[in-house]
Structure 1
Amino acid sequence: MRFIYLTDTHCRGTPPVNRKDDYVTALRAKLNEVALLAREWEVTALLHGGDLWDLPNPSIKVVNYFISSLKAAQVPIYIIAGNHDLRGQDLNTLPHTMLGLQNELGLLRLIHSGERLYFQDQNVRVQITGQPYHLEIDQRDPRLDYCVQKQNCDYAIHMVHGMLMAEERYPGSQHTQFSQIYETEADLTLASHMHFGFPDHNYQGKQILNIGALVRLSNHLVEIQRPVQVLLIDLSGGQIELRKLPLKSVLPGHQVLDRGIAEQMAGQVRKLVAAIQWARETREFKEYGLKELVEIIGNQEGASQKVRMEALRSVYVVSHRQVDLEKSDIEAKFRIG
């Protein structure tokens, strides 16, 4: 028994602003390769971590163009809903979306919260569960979304479309940390939603993975450098064996992502960070917390919300790791070449 897991495909008929290649053709090539890998490895099914579509109701033309590639895998597709698959990111709208329609037509199979699916062969019995995105994820008790119990199975795999990460990125960020879900009984937790992915994490034999999105939408340096891959989950030997499969159809990041906008934004972030650092040393702003201070200085500088959030994250990282500003990841992130 084998599965191939992929996530955050963001299928769409128009190119993102940061791409300089033919995004639509490139994405279809990736999906064609995924289908080929599924046939070569003789997988039981494809598992998708959500955000199949970039919009909740893409055109029929766009849907046919992409779904035909995935169906070429000739195996069932099991998926959880991501925030982009939903109208207003509201799970209650799922029946009125393309993903909901495809489920009704039997083109793919949605996994709903609390539902358990079982796969069995002569060697092993596997439980697969999923938590789709909803408006309270990473805000309510994380155990409700990330922790599952094993029932009548050898191994449990749980997919979650949420902001799971090792540590807090900045004050007030909506996220769930690894340590908050350690009581899960899932042998493998597959996180999505955060496109960059994160290093594999293992806690007492339980594995937590985010392999990263199948697409690269932003011009972030991490996005340029990271691998684009799928995950082979192999249980043919009676145990879970994981193998990341980088896609051969993917071009190097610097060939497909435009850095011009990022370089402009980098200058704005550095300017705002410098202003924030200066303000933190003055008596006038001593009473303000970091998040509030960023908003005040951001308003004064006319900085966009995106610039403010990046400045907030950067100052937070620097202050907590005691790294000199000039050597911080602000410079590394926007470094050219």
Structure 2
Amino acid sequence: MTKLLYTGDWHLRGTTPRNRKDNYKDSIKEKLLEIFNLARYRQVEAIITAGDTFHTPEVATGVLLEFADLIAEHCPVPLYTTAGNHDIYGYNLDTYNRTSLRVLEKIVPQFEVINDPAIPKVISGPGGAVQITFTPYSADIDRNGYGYCPGVENDDVLKIHVAHGMLLDHVPPFDRFTLIKDVKTTADLILTGHDHTGYGIYERADGKTFVNCGAICRLSASQSEITRKVEVLLIDIKDSKFDLELIPLQSAKPGEEILDRSAIEQEQERQYAMEEFASLIQSTTGEKVMVDINSIVESIAEHEGFQPSVVRIALEKIAESQESLKA
């Protein structure tokens, strides 16, 4: 049998989110060690992750080296991932070479980042070969269903496609997402991250299977984060078929123990005030209000009919400004 291990977002960082009661960095380290031990015990050929390896495009050098040493020393197999929205500046893949993710790829031998859907990684094992492709986060993902199909065709092997996009089994209260039922893909198994809660294993009537097992981290103290299981996915390939198993991480403590809800009411009040303000503007102008700078630029460009090249330059300038502020 050919085996792979899949995890959701990691969001490596050196500081502890305000909603956490414990030491976040130590908690993530425990989970990574358990994942690497599980990979060794289950004899998998590779580990795959969904992107958002880091919480910010650039982390402190000490934090980067600490996690690099842990992965290099303990990860027993090749690890493949792609760039998530938190890994790059301003949704702009052109900034990838200046990020901590790129440094991690350079200094950890078994860590590889694939940001082109047309570049397949073929893994062979006792159960046969499987092709894995990746779509990173970008300004294009979840626009007209983009992001969930390999950029290369190969009918001779099973195909897994990994995407850092907002693929969901339900309609959320925001605009940029893709519904599982609407996805057109040639892949047999589609693995996604980005949404931390996840939707588990979703088998569509046409035989396509979709999985988001959720992030290995808990960054907020929402009720869904408190109650959900932190899981990874074991993919067992035999006779050209997938056998999927969700495995809870034993190192993940109950949400009630590590998440502090005292700031939730404050956040809810802030969110309510923002929604009221947006509603007031919308009632006056009749236009939908957005607070994300990239979405604002894209909306203006669409309304004014600007060329895609102009939009790209604008987003690049925003990314450069965000990078300068970080520095």
| TM-score, normalised by the number of residues in structure 2 | 0.78
Q: Which range moved further: 260-269 or 92-101?
A: 260-269
Correspondence for 1:13:
14
CA contact (8 A) 1:55 1:85 kept: yes
Counterpart CA distance in 1 for 2:127 and 2:36 is 25
CA positional deviation for 1:56 = 1.5
RMSD value over aligned CA atoms? Answer: 2.7
What 5-or-longer segments of structure 1 have no aligned partner? 280-284, 296-304, 307-337
What 5-or-longer segments of structure 2 have no aligned partner? 293-327
CA contact (8 A) 1:78 1:111 kept: yes
Q: Which range moved further: 4-13 or 65-74?
A: 65-74
What amino acid does structure 1 have at the position aligned with 2:133? T
CA positional deviation for 1:273 = 8.4
Assess, with a 3 A threshold, how the Cα gap between structure 1 residues 68 and 230 changes in structure 2: closer, same or farther: farther
Correspondence for 1:154:
157
CA contact (8 A) 2:45 2:125 kept: no
Correspondence for 1:313:
none
What amino acid does structure 2 have at the position aligned with 1:24? K
User: 2:138 pairs with 134, 158, 165, which one?
Assistant: 134
Assess, with a 3 A threshold, how the Cα gap between structure 1 residues 233 and 271 changes in structure 2: closer, same or farther: same
Percent of aligned pairs with the same residue? 33
CA positional deviation for 1:38 = 0.7
User: 1:125 pairs with 117, 121, 129, which one?
Assistant: 129
CA positional deviation for 1:188 = 0.8
Correspondence for 2:309:
none
Counterpart CA distance in 1 for 2:200 and 2:186 is 20
Q: Which range moved further: 154-163 or 51-60?
A: 51-60
Assess, with a 3 A threshold, how the Cα gap between structure 1 residues 196 and 168 changes in structure 2: closer, same or farther: same
Assess, with a 3 A threshold, how the Cα gap between structure 1 residues 16 and 287 changes in structure 2: closer, same or farther: closer
Assess, with a 3 A threshold, how the Cα gap between structure 1 residues 287 and 81 changes in structure 2: closer, same or farther: closer
User: 1:250 pairs with 243, 249, 252, which one?
Assistant: 252
Matched, 1:94 2:96: yes
Q: Deviations over 1:100-129 (max 9, x none)?
A: 223334451111222111112353221100
Counterpart CA distance in 1 for 2:278 and 2:65 is 49
Counterpart CA distance in 2 for 1:131 and 1:167 is 21
| TM-score, normalised by the number of residues in structure 1 | 0.76
Assess, with a 3 A threshold, how the Cα gap between structure 1 residues 5 and 270 changes in structure 2: closer, same or farther: same
CA positional deviation for 1:17 = 1.1
Counterpart CA distance in 1 for 2:201 and 2:124 is 26
RCO (CA 8 Å, sep 6+): is it higher in 1 or 2? 2
Matched, 1:116 2:120: yes
Q: Deviations over 1:152-191 (max 9, x none)?
A: 43311000001111243236x111121331x312111011
What amino acid does structure 1 have at the position aligned with 2:121? L
What amino acid does structure 1 have at the position aligned with 2:50? G
Counterpart CA distance in 1 for 2:77 and 2:238 is 17
Assess, with a 3 A threshold, how the Cα gap between structure 1 residues 70 and 245 changes in structure 2: closer, same or farther: farther
